Structure 1
Amino acid sequence: NTPRMESEAEVPPLSYSLSPPSEALHRATEWGCGVLSIGRSWVRYEGWLMKEAGLAGGWHMRYFFVNGSRLDYFKEETGKVQLGSGGHLGCSVDHSNMVTSVERGGGTGQKAGVERVLQEGDVVIGVNGEPVVHETLHEAIGKVAGQTITLTFLRPKGKIMLAGASVTVGGGRKQGGYTLQLSTNDSGSRRSRHTLICADERSCYGWVSSIKEAIAAAAMETIKTTISQALQLQALQPA
């Protein structure tokens, strides 16, 4: 079932509730190219969008990116971490501050070890409320006084598969921003509708174009798989 659409009066502006680290991430994203696009050719587009909250209604800010043949999204979260000796955080991150591994056996309670806060796939975007978009996490921690820090990070929250999907521009809103409508296959003949709100018309058309490219790529992969399976079956047939 399609979640009910809130009236425009109930939908907050796109910039609603962006923290300083998230705002810095937004400013660092130009034409859909941001921190997750660097070094990842399969990331086609990224940025903040407002997403319907599902059957509960309402809207939430989520950080989306077109990841190959699907649309992934993150939620901003925060957590306090107790540093180890010498300011050791206890995790490894890549060039975009995405967590690649987490050490075990940290602290408890308010002085939690990093394993109680971060998990693989999280993207750290702030330390003690300050953005770390243009520097590495370990460089930012080196500037901090004290053993307890507050991390702001993006946590993976969902994926929307784009195979067999369709996307259209919904139009402008009185409060600003543009909507796009995404219709996807769930299972069998059932389809789900997703309404997303972009910052402006330009970004909306950028999202739609990138999602259409991903849909086409997913269709091509399906065709390739079908042909490969047919050739394998043909090879098994007796001469």
Structure 2
Amino acid sequence: MSNVAINIQNIAFNYPGNNNTFFRNFNLQIQKGERFGLFGPNGAGKTTLMNLMTGLLSVKAGRIQLLGQEIKGNNKQVNKLFGFVPQDFSFYQELSPVENLEFFGAWCGLNRQQIKLRTTLLLDVLGLADVSDKPVQQFSGGMKRRVNLAIGVIHNPAILFLDEPTVGVDVQTRHAIINYLLELNKNGTTLIYTSHQLSEAEGLCQQVAMIDEGKLIAHNSLSNLLTEHKQDGLEGLFLNLTGKNYRD
């Protein structure tokens, strides 16, 4: 039985109207159960790659497989395998956490009883039980982040994609979210994570890939990369591999 969670083979991609191929013959393999960090400067292709892995964008050539299944053609079976916590809030502001989770749980194919059980568990674990019936638009940024996360894991996915899951939150919320992600991983969930919070990433990610201009420039365990490049932290490694010039 394969131990590969995500297999990216020789993909090519360019945005419509732009003839420059952003990814060309790009390959990457991520193992089941990894806490995998994807890093690079602004414009390096991190979010684009995540959108390709989740099927929000389609490759021009090559293939992407999640747990052995092709992610193309709106494959509903593949969609059940992963959860996605995007940087932008992806819920209905006028609805409560319970109503949001009911909607997205049904969209993921859960039945009413499964939705109720998962909703009760997630709202409790993520500290939202006391506000479960209030409109999300009244919430603080940190509470909204936790609602975003709950929606991403409502169906207990095998793979969880996280694009800046803690941006704009306080220290307590960041700590709570990271601890929850570590607990998910301990129970077998593969985490694919990208963030500019490099100190946070250092405590979360075991395996690291650095990309720049659509190219893979490093891929190894964090400890091996730090040793290889004689760095004592992820920020130093990042600057060593991608340079110190402005990249915005």
Provide TM-score, normalisation by structure 1: 0.26
Query: Which structure dedicates a bigger proportion of its chain to strand?
Result: 1
Give me the TM-score of the superposition, normalised by structure 2.
0.25
Q: As a proportion of its length, which structure holds more helix?
A: 2
Q: Which has the larger radius of gyration?
A: 1
